Chains A and B, each alone.
Chain A
Amino acid sequence: MPVEPGSHRFRDAASSALKDPGLRANFRRAMDGLISKRAAQFADPVEWRDLKRLGSAIRARSLARLPELLERLEGRCLGNGIQVRWAETTEDANRIVLEILRSHGATRVVKGKSMVSEEMHLNEFLEEHGVESLESDLGEYIIQLDGETPSHIIMPAIHKNRQQIARLLGEKIRGARYTEDIDELTGIARRVLRKKFFEADAGISGVNFAVAETGTLCLVENEGNGRMSTHVPPVHIALMGLEKVVENLEDVPPLYSLLTRSATGQSITTYFNMITRPRTEAEKDGPLAVYLVILDNGRSRIFEDPELAATLRCIRCGACMNHCPVYTRVGGHAYESTYPGPIGKILAPQTDGVGARHDLVEASSLCGACGEVCPVGIPIPELIVRLRQEAAQPEPGSTVRGAGTGGSRGESLAWRLWAKSHRHPVLYRLLGLTATRLRRFIPGRLPVLAAWTSARSTPRPAARTLHELAKSAGVADE
Chain B
Amino acid sequence: MISPETPPDERPADVYYYGTCLVDLFYPEAGLSGIRLLEREGVRVVYPQGQTCCGQPAYNSGYSSEARAVARSQIERFSRPWPVVVPSGSCAGMMKHYYPSLFDGDPFLERALEFAGRIHELTSFLVRVLRVRLVDRGEPARVTWHTSCHALREMGIRDEPASLLAQLERVEVIPLARESECCGFGGTFAVRHPEISAAMVEDKAAAVAATGAPTLLSGDGGCLLNIAGRLEATGQRVRPVHIAQFLWERTRAR
Contact A415 B63, beta carbon cutoff 8 Å: yes
Contact A456 B226, beta carbon cutoff 8 Å: yes
Cβ-neighbour of A422 out of B48, B55, B152, B229 (below 8 A): B55
Encode A449-470 as 1/0 by CB contact (under 8 A) with B.
0011111111111101111111
Contact A466 B32, beta carbon cutoff 8 Å: yes
Contact B194 A422, beta carbon cutoff 8 Å: no
Q: Report chain B residues within 8 Å CB of A475.
A: 17, 35, 45-47
Q: Report chain B residues within 8 Å CB of A1.
A: none
A-B contact pairs, 11 of them (CB 8 A): A11-B195, A329-B196, A365-B187, A368-B149, A418-B58, A419-B65, A421-B52, A455-B198, A456-B198, A471-B49, A475-B46
Encode A433-460 as 1/0 by CB contact (under 8 A) with B.
0011000000000001001111111111
Q: Report chain A residues within 8 Å CB of B53.
A: 422, 428
Q: Does A385 reach chain B (CB closer than 8 Å)?
A: yes
CA distance A183 to B24 in the complex (A): 59
Q: Does B59 reach chain A (CB closer than 8 Å)?
A: yes
Known: A365-B182, A382-B1, A477-B47. A451 touches B194 (CB 8 A): yes
Q: Report chain A residues within 8 Å CB of B189.
A: 362-366
CB distance from B138 to the nearest CB of A (A): 22
Contact B28 A466, beta carbon cutoff 8 Å: yes
Q: Does B225 reach chain A (CB closer than 8 Å)?
A: yes
CB distance from A455 to the nearest CB of B (A): 4
Cβ-neighbour of B229 out of A15, A382, A415, A456 (below 8 A): A456
User: Interface extent on A, as a size class?
Assistant: 35 or more
Contact A455 B46, beta carbon cutoff 8 Å: no
Contact B61 A388, beta carbon cutoff 8 Å: yes
Q: Does B197 reach chain A (CB closer than 8 Å)?
A: yes
Q: Does B23 reach chain A (CB closer than 8 Å)?
A: yes
Known: A388-B61, A459-B225. A18 touches B66 (CB 8 A): no
Q: Does B57 reach chain A (CB closer than 8 Å)?
A: yes
- Among B124-132, B199-207, B208-216, B246-254, the stretch that binds chain A is B199-207
CB distance from A117 to the nearest CB of B (A): 30
Contact B64 A393, beta carbon cutoff 8 Å: yes
Known: A379-B1, A393-B62, A456-B230. A363 touches B193 (CB 8 A): yes
Q: Does B232 reach chain A (CB closer than 8 Å)?
A: yes
List residues 13-52 of chain B with CB under 8 A from any CB of chain A.
17, 19, 21, 23-29, 31-32, 35, 44-52
Contact B52 A388, beta carbon cutoff 8 Å: no
Known: A423-B70, A457-B229, A476-B44. A364 touches B186 (CB 8 A): yes
Q: Does B73 reach chain A (CB closer than 8 Å)?
A: yes
Main secondary structure of the interface of B (DSSP, over half): helix
CA distance A469 to B226 in the complex (A): 24
Q: Report chain B residues within 8 Å CB of A325.
A: 181-182, 184, 200
Q: Report chain A residues within 8 Å CB of B32.
A: 466, 469-470, 473
Q: Does A432 reach chain B (CB closer than 8 Å)?
A: yes
CB distance from A45 to the nearest CB of B (A): 10
7 pairs of A and B residues whose beta carbons are closest in the complex: A365-B186, A456-B229, A388-B62, A367-B182, A455-B198, A419-B66, A451-B194
Q: Report chain B residues within 8 Å CB of A363.
A: 189, 192-193, 196
Q: Does B191 reach chain A (CB closer than 8 Å)?
A: yes
Q: Does B6 reach chain A (CB closer than 8 Å)?
A: no
Q: Report chain B residues within 8 Å CB of A473.
A: 32, 35
Q: Does B190 reach chain A (CB closer than 8 Å)?
A: yes
Contact B154 A368, beta carbon cutoff 8 Å: yes
Q: Does A391 reach chain B (CB closer than 8 Å)?
A: yes
CB distance from B55 to the nearest CB of A (A): 7
Q: Does B167 reach chain A (CB closer than 8 Å)?
A: no
Chain B residues packing against A (C-beta within 8 Å): 1, 17, 19, 21, 23-29, 31-32, 35, 44-53, 55, 57-67, 69-70, 73, 149-150, 152-154, 180-182, 184-203, 225-226, 229-230, 232-233
Residue of A nearest to B93 (CB): A368
Q: Does A372 reach chain B (CB closer than 8 Å)?
A: yes
Q: Report chain A residues within 8 Å CB of B63.
A: 389, 392-393, 412, 415, 419
Contact A476 B31, beta carbon cutoff 8 Å: no
Q: Does A14 reach chain B (CB closer than 8 Å)?
A: yes
Q: Does A318 reach chain B (CB closer than 8 Å)?
A: no
Encode A182-211 as 1/0 by CB contact (under 8 A) with B.
000000000000000000000000000000
List residues 302-347 of chain A with CB under 8 A from any CB of chain B.
325-326, 329-330
CA distance A453 to B17 in the complex (A): 32
Q: Does A156 reach chain B (CB closer than 8 Å)?
A: no
Residue of B nearest to A32 (CB): B178
Q: Report chain A residues within 8 Å CB of B44.
A: 476
List 7 additional A-B contacts (Cβ < 8 Å) besides A419-B69, A423-B52.
A18-B199, A362-B193, A367-B153, A367-B182, A455-B194, A456-B233, A460-B26
Of A406, A411, A478, most buried by chain B (CB within 10 Å of CB) is A478
Contact A416 B200, beta carbon cutoff 8 Å: no
Q: Does A425 reach chain B (CB closer than 8 Å)?
A: yes
Of A411, A428, A466, most buried by chain B (CB within 10 Å of CB) is A466
CB distance from B7 to the nearest CB of A (A): 22
Cβ-neighbour of A469 out of B31, B64, B190, B201 (below 8 A): B31
CA distance A416 to B65 in the complex (A): 9
Known: A365-B182, A456-B230. A419 touches B26 (CB 8 A): no
CA distance A425 to B47 in the complex (A): 13
Q: Does A390 reach chain B (CB closer than 8 Å)?
A: yes
Residue of B nearest to A454 (CB): B194
Q: Does A369 reach chain B (CB closer than 8 Å)?
A: yes
Residue of A nearest to B90 (CB): A366
Contact B28 A465, beta carbon cutoff 8 Å: yes
Contact B28 A368, beta carbon cutoff 8 Å: no
CB distance from A461 to the nearest CB of B (A): 5
Contact B186 A470, beta carbon cutoff 8 Å: no
